[in-house]
Amino acid sequence: MKKIIAFIVLSIFLVQCKSREDWRIKYNVEKNKANNKTKNSKNITKSSAKASATKVDLDNMDTFIQNKQLKDLVLEWYYTPYKLGGTTKNGVDCSGFTQVVYEEIYNKKLPRTSSDMSKLIKRVYVKDLKEGDLVFFSFNNSDKINHVGVYLKDNKFVHASTKKGVIISDLTEPWYGNYLTKCGPVINES
């Protein structure tokens, strides 16, 4: 009887060890797959990365862009790289992109610099912003306006970021909220 009980206990112990070993093997296989996926994702071409990022980042786009033409323009320019002084899809800066939006969507011509654009708006509170209004920022401990974006809805705005190119950001992010200087609709054209 003691031999049978010892055999059963030994069998249970061996089965448990086997299942633990299987779990570790499965875990390591999954971990290696994840690592390979990360390595391979770094080798994705720009166009496929742009397409997948756009799908992920812009899934809820309908909730914060009402104007279909504006939505199409944002999708067309999304992740266009930043280039100081640029105004094309090869590279664009914040004021260049804002000019493009205003010319193509609102049929208005704006000055070339964000500082000059800021002179054309009627100041409003953030809570009163509407789609198409401009938002201005002063970075680098400066009182001078040096960045502009186009307001969408629900604190979202589209702009040409120096690091990521044309993207949609949120005014509630500390980086933007802390440096927001002025915002409002364009009341005068140059």
Quote the pLDDT of residue 156: 94
Active site residues per annotation: 94, 147, 159
In the DSSP assignment, the letter for residue 80 is P
Straight-line distance from the first to the last Cα atom of the chain, in angstroms, rounded to the nearest whole number:
100
Look at the domain 46-184 and name its fold.
endopeptidase fold (from Nostoc punctiforme) (3.90.1720)
Q: Kindly report the pTM of this predicted structure.
A: 0.70
| 96 contact partners, CB below 8 Å, separation of at least 6 | 85, 86, 87, 112, 160
Tell me how far apart the 2 most distant CA atoms of the chain are, in Å: 100
Going from N- to C-terminal start, the domains of the chain cover 1-43, 46-184
pLDDT tens column, 47-88:
433 443 444 356 778 788 989 999 999 999 999 999 999 999
